[in-house]
Amino acid sequence: MGLFDKLFKKEETPKVVTEKGALYAPITGRYIPLEEIPDAVFSQGILGPGCGIEPQDGVAAAPADGTVTQVTDTKHAVGITTDDGAEILIHIGMDTVEMGGAGFTMKVKEGQKVTCGQPLLTFDISKIKAAGHPTCTAFVLTNADDYPDFVIETGKDYKRTEKIGKLK
């Protein structure tokens, strides 16, 4: 770490050793079946397969190496295309678009290359709850036709960057 990094407290992303075709937990928390997400668009799999996450902290990180393909104006959701071609949507909370960006800080921009574990956005769980919204976060594979055997093991807690699934 250089002098300027120490002075300006530059955030460092620890290097995650990844395996081809694997996805890693973007958020520390409880991973639940898609059907338990309190929003029909997600719970019915309309946007694709995946899971819900009950977050334990307010950091959403890249689930694999890739490129940021979408950043919402309200900073509550981000899309990434992994280097393996998977299109992932991470949508923090339900109906949080209504918050207009309050409580969210985007750490990346569209077109930016990211590495697994690199923070994409931060969010304030208490502000989401205070606004009356569920904190349950959707983690969805939007190009599921390319990965028909995609599965994430749910019903357990993961720490950010732990392996959660494999693209097949």
Q: What is the CATH number of the domain that holds 79?
A: 2.70.70.10
Domain that holds residue 113: 31-166
DSSP 14: P
The catalytic position among 75, 91, 107, 133 is 91
> How many domains is the chain partitioned into structurally?
1
pTM: 0.90
Q: What is the mean pLDDT of residues 9-13?
A: 52
In the residue annotation, 76 being an active-site residue is answered as no
Position 77 in a domain? yes
pLDDT at 118 over 80: yes
Q: Is there a domain that residue 54 lies in?
A: yes
Please indicate whether residue 98 or residue 167 has the higher confidence score (pLDDT): 98
Domain assignment present for residue 23? The answer is: no
Q: Flag whether 19 is in a domain.
A: no
Q: Is the pLDDT assigned to residue 119 strictly greater than 70?
A: yes
Q: Output the pLDDT for position 16.
A: 75
At 14 the pLDDT is 63
Whole-number pLDDT of residue 12: 55
Q: Is residue 67 part of a domain?
A: yes
Residue 30 and residue 54 in contact, taking contact as beta carbons nearer than 8 Å:
yes
DSSP 145: G
Residue 105 is assigned to a structural domain of this protein? yes
d(CA 80, CA 101): 19
Please report the pLDDT score of residue 168 as a whole number.
Answer: 76
